[in-house]
């Protein structure tokens, strides 16, 4: 009887430990994204405030998916695409930068309260992508394709999103996500080089050969001519006799 109670007591103490091991997240690897310059220019048909808002929503969706799936391989894969697009829409987005840092440290992020569900975000991406596709601009068309694919992956039950993504795939092939992670030079600051003489020789170049002095032109006739001396006039009439 005593042995039975001892076994029961040991089992009671072991259950919380076993439960904690089952719920503990497994270690995962995350190579930090290094996106300093966006793949999209000012020609993109989105204002800065809208780009910032979409970047935050994409990052929050990535964090929620990783936490709910306990950092599974599939959740990390789609979250990497979400975060890559977020950092390209706004490279200085606070939520995206923090999430990228935490994942690189192997930490599970906090889930944002009041965040859009994947289904709601999928509808937003689909609608915004349809508007971008109507604008004659290569960057808008590229972002529309990215939105279509993400919308279909976030909510496979959304038939409109799946149809838009599949038709785009048939027409244009696979979306090149590596385009968003390519290194790019820093954009030139506005007004750089202003005030310089474009015709001046570059630094270190040979000086221009000296030219012979050009003689001063002769003064034109007119007011500038020298006045000749006046001739003395003789008195009129017979000469005076003493």
* pLDDT 10s digits, 50-72: 999 999 999 999 999 999 999 99
Positive or negative, the CA dihedral 116, 25, 99, 139 is negative
Residue ending a domain, choose from 172, 188, 205: 172
Q: Which among 115, 131, 155 is the end of a domain? A: 115
Residue closest to 156 by CA, chosen among 193, 54, 61, 164: 164
Domain presence at residue 219? no
Report the domain count for the chain: 2
Question: Looking at the predicted structure, is the pLDDT value of residue 33 above 60?
Answer: yes
Residue 66, domain extent: 44-115
- Examine the domain organization and report whether 88 and 151 are in the same domain: no
Is the domain of 93 the same as that of 109? yes
Is 203 part of any domain? no
107 and 122 fall within a common domain: no
State whether 70 and 109 are in the same domain.
yes
CA distance 122 to 128: 10
Position 187 scores a pLDDT of 66
Would residue 232 count as lying in a domain? no
Q: Do both 58 and 79 map to the same domain?
A: yes
The DSSP annotation for 1-45 comes to: -HHHHHHHHHHHHHHHHHHHHHHSPPP---PPP---S-S--TTSS
Residue after which a domain boundary falls, among 115, 139, 162: 115
Which of these ranges, 85-94, 145-154, 206-215, has the smallest mean pLDDT? 206-215
Does residue 124 belong to any structural domain of this protein?
Answer: yes
**Per the domain annotation, does 168 fall within a domain?**
yes
Report the mean per-residue pLDDT for the chain: 79
Asked if residue 57 belongs to a domain, the reply is: yes
143 CA to centre of own chain: 12
Per the CB < 8 A criterion, the answer to whether 103 and 66 are in contact is yes
Residue 193 lies in a domain: no
> Is the pTM higher than 0.85?
no
Lowest-pLDDT choice from 3-7, 75-79, 103-107, 204-208: 204-208
Q: Dmax over Cα atoms in the chain, in whole Å?
A: 183
């Amino acid at each position: 009887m005593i042995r039975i109670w001892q076994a029961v007591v040991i089992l009671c103490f072991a259950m919380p430990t076993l439960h904690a091991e089952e719920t503990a997240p497994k270690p995962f690897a995350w190579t930090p994204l290094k996106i300093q310059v966006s793949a999209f220019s000012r020609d993109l048909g989105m204002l800065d405030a809208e780009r910032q808002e979409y970047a935050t929503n994409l990052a929050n969706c990535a964090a929620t998916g990783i936490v709910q799936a306990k950092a599974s391989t599939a959740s990390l894969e789609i979250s990497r695409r979400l975060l890559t697009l977020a950092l390209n829409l706004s490279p200085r987005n606070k939520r995206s930068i923090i999430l990228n840092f935490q994942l690189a440290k192997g930490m599970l992020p906090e889930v944002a309260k009041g965040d859009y569900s994947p289904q709601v975000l999928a509808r937003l991406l689909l609608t915004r992508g349809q508007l971008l596709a109507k604008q004659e601009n290569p960057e808008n068309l590229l972002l529309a394709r990215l939105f279509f694919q993400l919308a279909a992956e976030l909510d496979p039950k959304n038939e409109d999103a799946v149809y838009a993504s599949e038709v785009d795939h048939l027409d244009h092939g696979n979306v090149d996500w590596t385009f968003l992670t390519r290194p790019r030079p820093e954009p030139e600051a506005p007004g750089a080089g202003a005030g310089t003489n474009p015709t001046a020789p570059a630094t270190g170049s040979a000086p221009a050969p000296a030219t012979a002095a050009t003689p001063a032109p002769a003064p034109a006739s007119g007011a500038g001519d020298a006045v000749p001396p006046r001739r003395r006039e003789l008195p009129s009439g017979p000469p005076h006799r003493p």
